[in-house]
Structure 1
Amino acid sequence: MEESVLTSVVLPAALFLIMLGMGLSLVVDDFKRVVAYPKAAITGLFCQLILLPACGFLLAKAFGLRPEMAVGLMIIAACPGGVTSNLITHVARADTALSVTLTAINSVVAIFTIPLVVGFGLEYFLDASRGIELPVLKTIGQVFGITAVPVSIGMFIRARRPDFADRMDRPARIGSAVVFVLIVAGIIAANLDILREHFAALSGVTFALNLLTMALGAVAGKLVRLPARQTLTVAIEAGIQNGTLAIVIATSILKQGDMALPGGFYSLVMFVSGAAVMFYGSRTHEAGEDEAAPAGA
């Protein structure tokens, strides 16, 4: 996919709006809540920031992905969760407050971890002669501009106009989902030939990454003895990533359409697993408020 108005303007603008919508649902307490139950938050962040990139790297090698696809997998593995993970958590009757907290914290931390993970992927999988480099400072600035800035604006609007933010919550979520689907469809349509050629590898590795990280998230939650709802939340946050951000990084920052395919394909896969988790959670947990974190959790 060559640079165009879609990759240079429409995609970043769409992500900006999606992150603005996420900001409308956040308050400062969502960032402070990590102090209330540090064990759950630390476990979730460990799965997202450490286990997820490590799994992406190992699976890229195990499946023998071509270099561009391997880097693309590293990109999606470096991205934080998005509003989709919050929605899935809510419908699955898991701990929505923890999900929002993890999404909020990880979205800020990812400004600095994305350049590290993606830079490593480029250096390891691609020959330096390809001339594809990640401008670290520029990347930090761009990721900050299309994630932290709109989230901050959304939070400011919510603080000043909570009624307006509440009214816009549902339209923002629906609009984000529609834009997200259109973006994924556009990426796939523009790269059909490459997708056909690598369909087997991409389907296998993205399913493996999604299922493995969700499983590891569940295991991690059980190992540190988190309540059932928090364990399910950690599993969801570990396996549901911001596919739109991954696509923007690949197409708008690195300007490599091939690298967007793993992110686009992963986005489709995570909706399948997300639907299964929502069905499981809604049948397993009783309706009601999210389970409160135990003291000292």
Structure 2
Amino acid sequence: MEFSTGNLIALNVILACMMFGVSLSLGVEDFRRILRDPRAPLIGLAAQFLLLPAATCLGTWAFGVPPELALGMILVAACPGGTFSNIMTWIGKADVAVSVSMTAVSSLAATVMTPLNFAFYGWLNPDTRQLVTDIAIDPGNILLLVAGVLALPLLLGMWSARRAPRLAARAEKPMRLVSLAVLFGFVAIAFANNVDLFLAEADRFALLVIAHNAAALGVGALAGRLARLPVPDRRAVTMEVGIQNSGLGLAILFTFYPDAGGMILITAFWGVWHLISGLSLASWWARHPAEATAT
């Protein structure tokens, strides 16, 4: 797959704009809320950055997933929560405050955790270790990319919302709609440039993504249940862990590994499927409010 330097820059700028739009709803109070009551966000972040990558590494090894597809799954698991988890949490009548807090902190933590988890678990799985060596993962370069498209736009968006709250409130919804369109644009580019591989491997990677996403939702739900979180908090953690920032994963692949077709297809299909599964789960939750759920 060939991408010009201009196209790669455009993709990264668009992802940064997506993060800027999401951060317009965040503020210092979201971080203070974590300090006052950190249990739910901390449980969620542990599931996000520790349990899910470890489970993905073990699962891909245990089931003998082909190396390039396995490494794509590890990359997705290493990414922070997706930018649409807050909306789906709101639709599902779960605890939006917990979701927003996790989004804010995980986006900042991802500047370090995403490249480190990707490199570490890619190396830890013996089936992907050679591939990691061949593509020469440089965590430092990935860290700079993640900082540029997540951390800096997040801080800038929060600063803008603080300086011009009315403008930020009006811009938030359009920015989210544009973000959704852009995410599908990422996916369309990935599929268009790998159509032959998509047709040949769809039966394999589609099932892997569906199973992986179900496992991610399950990790979040199990972590919340074991921690005995209230049902609204548990649902927010479930959604935050199950909705991954696949747009970031695609930006990393387009920038550093444009020829890794299998990894790109795994990540691109995640971008479609987690929206379907997340919206389906949120709709079910909306019909079964947390107040009516005993456990």
TM-score normalized by the length of structure 1: 0.91
Instruction: Specify the code of the residue in structure 2 equivalent to 1:69.
Output: L
C-alpha separation between the residues in 2 aligned to 1:204 and 1:59?
A: 14
Alignment of 1:126-165 (within 5 A): 126-127=129-130, 131-165=134-168
Q: 1:92·1:277 contact (CA, 8 Å) conserved in 2?
A: yes
C-alpha separation between the residues in 2 aligned to 1:185 and 1:63?
A: 29
C-alpha separation between the residues in 2 aligned to 1:194 and 1:120?
A: 27
Aligned-pair Cα RMSD in Å: 1.9
Q: Which residue of 1 aligns with 2:75?
A: 75
Give the counterpart of 1:253 among 253, 256, 262: 256
Alignment length, in residue pairs? 287
Q: Which residue of 1 aligns with 2:180?
A: 177
Query: Is 1:45 aligned to residue 48 of structure 2?
Result: no
Structure 2, unmatched stretches of 5+, are none
Moved over 6 A (4+): none
C-alpha separation between the residues in 2 aligned to 1:118 and 1:7?
A: 24
Q: 1:65·1:201 contact (CA, 8 Å) conserved in 2?
A: no
Deviations 1:258-281 (A, max 9, x none): 222111111211112112111112
Q: Which residue of 1 aligns with 2:210?
A: 207
Give the counterpart of 1:226 among 207, 211, 229: 229
Q: 1:68·1:126 contact (CA, 8 Å) conserved in 2?
A: no
TM-score normalized by the length of structure 2: 0.91
Q: Which residue of 2 aligns with 1:19?
A: 19
Instruction: Specify the code of the residue in structure 2 equivalent to 1:142.
Output: L
Structure 1, unmatched stretches of 5+, are 288-297
Q: 2:119·2:132 contact (CA, 8 Å) conserved in 1?
A: no
What is the CA distance between 1:18 and its match in structure 2? 0.3
Query: Is 1:285 aligned to residue 289 of structure 2?
Result: yes
Instruction: Specify the code of the residue in structure 2 equivalent to 1:263.
Output: T
Q: Which residue of 2 aligns with 1:294?
A: none
Counterparts in 2 of 1:205 and 1:6: CA distance versus 1, 3 Å: farther
Q: 1:20·1:154 contact (CA, 8 Å) conserved in 2?
A: yes
What is the CA distance between 1:6 and its match in structure 2? 6.7
Q: Which residue of 2 aligns with 1:168?
A: 171
C-alpha separation between the residues in 1 aligned to 2:7 and 2:69?
A: 18
C-alpha separation between the residues in 2 aligned to 1:7 and 1:32?
A: 39
Query: Is 1:195 aligned to residue 198 of structure 2?
Result: yes
C-alpha separation between the residues in 1 aligned to 2:53 and 2:72?
A: 12
